[in-house]
Structure 1
Amino acid sequence: MPQRPAPGRRPPDGGDGGDGGENRTQILEYPGGGTPPDGGRRPAADTQPNLTRSSQVMALGTLVSRATGFLRTFVFVAALGTGRLAIAYNNSNTLPNTIYYLMLGGIFTSVVVPLLVKAAKDDPDRGEAYAERIFTLGVISLFTVTVIGTALAAPLVDLYAGNINGPPGSQGAMEHHVMVLFAYFFIPQIFFYGMDSLLGAILNTRGRFGANMWTPVINNVVVIAVGGLFIAVQGLQPRDGNIAISPGGLKLLGIGTTLGIVIQSIALFPVLRRAGFSMRPRWDLRGAEVSVIGRMAGWMVFYVVSQWLGNLVAQRVANAAGAGGGGYATYSYAWQLFQLPYAVVGISVISALLPRMSGHATDRRYSLVRDDFSTGVRLASVIVVPAAVFLAVLGAPLCEFLFSIGSDSVQDARYIGEVFGMFALGLVPFMLTQLQLRVFYSFHENRTPAIIGMVMLVVGVIGDLVALHALPRGQVVIGLAAAYDLMTLTGAVLSWPLLLRRVGSLDGWRITRSLVRMFLATLPGLVFAFVTMAVVGSVLHAGPLYGLVSIVVGGGGALLLYAFCARVLGIDEFRILVRSVAGRFGRLHNKPVSM
């Protein structure tokens, strides 16, 4: 395993090990800048598209993906509301994601990508045979877990939502029964979620990042159509929250939701073939390779289990709050909204970073690992910071405008927005924690993330239980969002000094300076948003019109003020973002149109 450079010594790659501020623009375009330290023969990690360009492609795809995902949430809030059917649907639809992540998702993220990068650098066939063996092993593992998970559908529902039930014939008993039926439809998604992640990991190590960000659009479009068809044939759910669904409507939601992820996974097959991967099964699995995966995944299991337990406690506490207190449907909708601003930039940057950092870590080029991390944090933060500040304030009116329709009331919509606003406060530490974990993974280091995950679990569970027992029923789900923010902040604070021991420097001063300037740039917009909401609230009653005016005037003005202040404060990352977007639109404008 690569050793960290001793304090005061130059890193093995010949970098200066310091701030690197003199190469600011070059680091943003190509970490390390100038001529590669090996005299021009870049290793495999450097032959991939540069971070800025890769992130732009993925951010565009992720933006469209998350926009359609947002529309998907909009349709299902209108169709199901936040009552018993929505709680049953969201609880069951969470199961495949949770089981997949618990059993295999963390391994694909933290283990497979670094090993594929290493094989591509070391093997004579550039890791082709190794990738085929990993693919075969992944398919077998996914199929096994899917079959077992489907067979255990009813016990899994009891584990997550055992506090939702009642005497025969009651609404609680019906809600539990519908949840179990949904689970049988949804749990087979494990196989296809896993295939999507596994194939995406193979594509990422080959420098193909865009497809992973675009194929979810197909999934969202299918499920949006299913939600619209459900409204057409089944109608809206009653505002009293009780379940009103026919067997045909239940099958439509169950089969249609699963069909979306099936098509999403199949859509990656032609992309893989164009990337040169045959998807041919190889049965010459080597014991040594499986042992390496098992050894690296051992500590990762502890991290994944800690995250799973944290989600389990939060889900059961949300279910304990019940539909009248928001329930798990409200928590799930707010969580989906919370993922939007992070995913547009954060996931894009992370996907591009992990293969690069894995290559640099393998070559013991620690200053380039540091530069990649610093660049990733600052590029993501230029959007995530204003999103966190403004959405924390404008989340409630945004959801009043969007969700006060169909099966949802104005009060329920506002509560979703309040939970979303609380989640938004944790966007920056959430993003930072995710990036820090990728640095550990690039060094094939999983023990430290596992220990950090256990501490985060303790903090999160304590926060969830305090929310359940100390807050009024109507505020419990907001308390769960606050507990999640505290948990991610704990992870970010703990990870930083532990990473310093590994890398030697994280460019902390430069990151801190950029973050402080970004937060300062949001302050005028924050004041403007508060004033706008107060003025509009004195004229209009709560509802869609109040939400629309608050968002258009308050949110639009806040963003314009942030852009102005970012230029005045000389935020380099904002300048590069604007230049990159302008350049992309310029190329599109000048591109000849073929008839």
Structure 2
Amino acid sequence: MTDIDGRTQTGGRPPPAGGAPTDGPPADEAPADGDSWGAATHYAGNRLVEPRTFTESDPMTAAVMFDVSDDDRTTRRPATDAHRWGTTTYVGKPRRRRDAAAHPTDDDGAGYGAGDGAGDGAGDGAPSAAPSPEAGTKGLLATSRSMALASLASRLTGFLRSVLLVAALGTGAVGNAYNSGNNLPNMIYELLLGGVLSSVLIPLLVKAEAEDDDGGLAYTQRLLSVAVAALGVMTLLVTAAAPWIVAPFVGAGPKRELTSVFATLLLPEIFFYGLGAMVMAVLNIKHVYGPGAWSPLLNNLVLIVTVFVFWTLPGPKTLDPTAMTTPQILVIGIGTTLGIAAQALVLLPYLRRSGFTWKWRFRARPGEQDRLRELGALAGWVLGYVVVSQVGVSVIQKVGNDNGGFTVFTNADLLFQMPYGILVVSLLTAIMPRLSRAAVRQDTEAVVGDLSLGARLSALALVPVTGLLLVLGPALGVTLFAHGETSFAGARLIGSALAWSAFGLFPFALVMLQLRVFYAMRDGRTPTYINVGMVATKVVLVLVSNAAFAAPAGTNVEQHPSLPAVEWLNIATSLSYVVGAIAGHVLLTRRLGRLGFGRVARTVGQVAIASALGAGAAYGVLRGAHAVLGDGRGGAAAALTIGGLLGIAVIGALVWRTRLPELRAVLGRGAA
């Protein structure tokens, strides 16, 4: 048997006698104790649930279940094998769906969980034809491109939203107060509920759908009822405690008072984050993915309108915490919360349309507590991941505020995340299901091959971006952010922080891919350990750099931030990704043997040479633009536009001359 890229499968098992492929180990195969979470795998038929990696700012859209099948990439088959589609695969001792005989395979799909997705089998028991290596890779990339569209739209409008916010509030005390207040709902949601919700809720729903007589309807209603009630109480308590929550992060004074007001207005977002994540989970169970992918667009549009309304209000010419008017504070705070609310509430009509009916249920059925215990180990490790991550976030927020640069860090990190989010996230999302199935059948060669493919495609996308950002980062910052309340110096600091940290782009993508490999191998422990090392690296570097470069006592950091201390927030973050990528490589080598990263290194080297030459051309344009137009906004815009286009052209031409197979695969002209 060969896999999708033509590799011989050495670790997989032959299909069962009926010819249907298998998605996991046989029922009588239990893994060794050291290799098990003591929980179900993230599968129900061919549907994969991937635990959160907690790297992006929107908690609502990160709990996603994927429905991508290798076989489905070449042909879409009718839903005639519904019983096997709904059968859950387990790592440990199996538990069969109760009264399976009562659910015929030729049902009309009217029950809960009968979405529009295709079944897993061919319907007549005949095995489907294995896709060719080239067709498999083309299918993967086609899936990736289609999944990128919604992400691209939401990220671009989100970027516009952030640019407008910086122009409206600036990078000084008001901007820092707003960003500090707006960061708290994300932190608290993740710590109290987000990690457990995203790692446990979807597997529980998948399992209930596979086992329960009603397809998990009553169990889903019960989970949502309990979670919504808990979210409501938790949100009220946290909002009431806003001033005490803000105190550790912001020093006493007008800035803390403004941050407390913003936090009071923004902390209700916690409820809508949770509600949106739960509704998205149910929609994904029902094979409805579009609304959740596009809903962030509505949030961005609401906030864009909010900024324009803010600009129409009377107020001081220069914003500061003591001069902002009450209407200004209320508009920007309530408008931000309304955006998150709209993102969640817009999903409710689609929930009803999918066939799910809401009913309040709180009393548990006998035996349902076993499900929570069964998945407790996974929840524990993912929660540990969250707690460790938020320690790093808290340190950066504290040091950033102390040096007047938390808004600078936030926006530089936003720019840093955009290339990864637009160019790579959709690729990793598409590659994850086949990688996970290879891990389940213990096909080490296929896992290593997919790891190599993901790393090479990530390098092809991100190494050129790194080269251009190193040169054009400050010009990009000035062009995008030097407007409204944001000074030229503040905008340039955003760009320079981005430029100094751009080296971390490819390591960041690589470590995210490595974490997905560990999750595919049903290992929730190792990603947490890797994250501990990354966060420890970041915290130590941030504290050491703060000790060396902190603003002197008595400095008005909102007007005169400590440039090195602020830049090191982003540099330390990128260095932590390098540490994580190295640790992930070492640990995966111990687990899988040789990873064959020589091919990855060759691809990185070839693309890096082309990127260096392209960056050199862009630098020449930058110097020329500054000589002719000066280093102000005009020179920055000219350098960014002409230098960026020239750099891209040079890099593209040189990479094309190398005839990299990865580039041919992206263009649909061959396999990678």
Asked whether the 8 Å contact 1:13–1:367 carries over to 2, the reply is: no
**Distance of 2:407 and 2:427 partners within structure 1:** 30
More off after superposition, 203-212 vs 570-579: 203-212
Letter in structure 2 aligned against 1:153? A
Q: After TM superposition, give the deviation of residue 497 of structure 1 in Å.
A: 2.8
Q: Does 2:589 match 1:497? A: no
Q: How does 1:63-82 map to 2 (within 5 A)?
A: 63-82=152-171
**Distance of 2:374 and 2:591 partners within structure 1:** 21
Distance 1:135 1:379, change over 3 A: farther
Pick from 324, 329, 349: which aligns with 1:245?
324
Higher relative contact order (CA 8 A, sep 6+): 1
Asked whether the 8 Å contact 1:419–1:481 carries over to 2, the reply is: yes
Asked whether the 8 Å contact 2:316–2:324 carries over to 1, the reply is: no
More off after superposition, 267-276 vs 331-340: 267-276
Q: Does 2:583 match 1:530? A: no
Q: What's the counterpart of residue 101 of structure 1?
A: 190
Asked whether the 8 Å contact 1:73–1:333 carries over to 2, the reply is: yes
Distance 1:526 1:112, change over 3 A: farther
Q: What's the counterpart of residue 453 of structure 1?
A: 531
Pick from 556, 573, 576: which aligns with 1:484?
573
Distance 1:539 1:476, change over 3 A: same
Q: Does 2:248 match 1:159? A: yes
Asked whether the 8 Å contact 2:73–2:140 carries over to 1, the reply is: no
Counterpart secondary structure, 1:244: coil
Aligned residues: 544
Asked whether the 8 Å contact 1:186–1:254 carries over to 2, the reply is: yes
Length-normalised TM-score, structure 1: 0.82
Distance 1:465 1:11, change over 3 A: same
Distance 1:334 1:448, change over 3 A: same
Q: How does 1:397-546 map to 2 (within 5 A)?
A: 397-471=475-549, 473-503=562-592, 506=595, 508-546=597-635
Q: What's the counterpart of residue 583 of structure 1?
A: none
Q: What's the counterpart of residue 377 of structure 2?
A: 295
Letter in structure 2 aligned against 1:11? G
Structure with a larger share of its residues in helix: 1
Q: After TM superposition, give the deviation of residue 246 of structure 1 in Å.
A: 0.8
Distance 1:431 1:132, change over 3 A: farther
Q: What's the counterpart of residue 264 of structure 1?
A: 343
Q: What's the counterpart of residue 306 of structure 1?
A: 388
Counterpart secondary structure, 1:245: coil
Asked whether the 8 Å contact 2:467–2:611 carries over to 1, the reply is: yes
Distance 1:424 1:102, change over 3 A: farther
Q: What's the counterpart of residue 11 of structure 1?
A: 11
Distance 1:32 1:256, change over 3 A: closer
Q: Does 2:268 match 1:188? A: yes
Counterpart secondary structure, 1:55: helix
Question: CA offsets per residue over residues 36-70 of structure 1, 9 Å max, x none?
Answer: 9xxx9997899799543332222111111111111
Q: After TM superposition, give the deviation of residue 214 of structure 1 in Å.
A: 1.7
Q: After TM superposition, give the deviation of residue 89 of structure 1 in Å.
A: 0.4
Distance 1:143 1:329, change over 3 A: same
**Distance of 1:272 and 1:513 partners within structure 2:** 48
Asked whether the 8 Å contact 2:166–2:481 carries over to 1, the reply is: yes
Q: After TM superposition, give the deviation of residue 355 of structure 1 in Å.
A: 5.2
Q: After TM superposition, give the deviation of residue 232 of structure 1 in Å.
A: 1.4
More off after superposition, 65-74 vs 435-444: 435-444
Q: Does 2:309 match 1:229? A: yes
Counterpart secondary structure, 1:82: coil
Q: What's the counterpart of residue 318 of structure 1?
A: 400
Q: After TM superposition, give the deviation of residue 282 of structure 1 in Å.
A: 5.1
Q: How does 1:44-123 map to 2 (within 5 A)?
A: 51-113=140-202
Distance 1:274 1:504, change over 3 A: farther
Q: How does 1:345-384 map to 2 (within 5 A)?
A: 345-354=423-432, 357-358=435-436, 361-362=439-440, 364=442, 367-384=445-462
Q: After TM superposition, give the deviation of residue 132 of structure 1 in Å.
A: 5.1
Distance 1:47 1:550, change over 3 A: farther
Counterpart secondary structure, 1:159: coil
Aligned sequence identity (%): 34
Q: After TM superposition, give the deviation of residue 109 of structure 1 in Å.
A: 4.3
Pick from 637, 647, 655: which aligns with 1:566?
655
Q: Which of structures 1 and 2 has the bigger CA Rg? A: 2
Counterpart secondary structure, 2:399: helix
**Distance of 2:506 and 2:278 partners within structure 1:** 27
Q: After TM superposition, give the deviation of residue 381 of structure 1 in Å.
A: 3.7
Asked whether the 8 Å contact 2:530–2:580 carries over to 1, the reply is: yes
Flag structure 2 segments of 5+ consecutive residues without an equivalent.
1-7, 16-67, 90-117, 121-135, 551-561
Counterpart secondary structure, 1:425: helix
Distance 1:263 1:298, change over 3 A: same
Q: After TM superposition, give the deviation of residue 82 of structure 1 in Å.
A: 1.1
Letter in structure 2 aligned against 1:302? G
